[in-house]
Amino acid sequence: MINILLNGCCGHMGKVVADMCKYQKDVVIVGGIDLSAPEGDYGYPIFSSPAEVDIDFDVIIDFSNATCVPALCEFAKNKKKGLVCCTTGIPEDVVSCLFDCSSSVPVFKSANMSYGMNVLFEIVRMATKALKDGSEIEIIEAHHRRKLDAPSGTALMIADVINEECDNKMDYVYDRSQRRSPRAQNEIGFSSIRGGNIVGEHEIMFIMDEEVVKISHSASTRDVFARGAIMAAKFIANKAPGMYSMQDITANIFD
């Protein structure tokens, strides 16, 4: 049994993770951390900060915000417990905290925790190898109106996968509105759509003169991210210190 400490337990994703764990036999939420815990019985103790945690656990799952991550990294190092960081929109200085933490404990970080999306990364990698010569590549992504960043972190991850297979020679183009020139062969173009409650949609187009190959992924609910977080917690429970991602789980699926 893997005992999970859930940071951000009272937020939307925290609640989804907790509910999902109820139906799994090999994981259990033994405690939560949240600054503003409402009254009521969550089925486990809730602490207002990592410093107050006085229970034993195996792995931390974090769905909070970037400002909470540095303190959580120090807490994980002091407790010598693995950390699954699912928080998005993390600036470079906080990313550095995660890498520093990974020298002492296993840290799992991925811009997208969906298993299906990470399978798509490997499919895109294979497609790029086969189609990069003679293709013009575009990435289209759509998310809900509340999303602040554009393009999405996942779209940038897809582009990075493509770029790796192209010897890092690709230029990322986010806006063509001020340009008056033909499209260059070494571009990856991005288009972002925001509206409604779209959970997340990504499409990659390999455009050739005679045909177009499209690869796409659509998330129906945010449950996919919770499921991925639990999968990650199981994955790093007994791992050595280091930085891990969902690609460590999916990298060899086509071997």
Question: Which one from 143, 202, 217, 234 is the annotated catalytic residue?
Answer: 143
Pairing state between β 212-219 and 200-207: antiparallel
Cis check for the bond before 151: say yes or no (omega within 30 of 0).
yes
Task: Dig out the tokens for 112 from the structure.
Answer: 């997208």
* Span between the terminal Cα atoms of the chain, in Å: 30
pLDDT tens, per residue, the chain with 255 residues = 999 999 999 888 999 999 999 988 899 999 999 987 666 677 899 998 999 999 999 999 999 888 899 999 999 999 999 999 998 778 889 899 999 999 999 999 987 889 999 999 999 999 999 999 999 999 999 999 999 889 998 999 999 999 999 999 999 999 999 889 999 999 999 999 999 999 999 999 999 999 999 999 999 988 999 999 999 999 999 899 999 998 888 876 766
143 part of the active site: yes
Q: Looking at residue 90, what is its pLDDT?
A: 82
> Is residue 233 a contact partner of residue 59, using CB atoms and an 8 Å limit?
yes
pTM of the model: 0.82
239 part of the active site: no
Domains of the chain: 2-113+222-250 (3.40.50.720), 115-219 (3.30.360.10)
Question: Which one from 15, 79, 132, 147 is the annotated catalytic residue?
Answer: 147
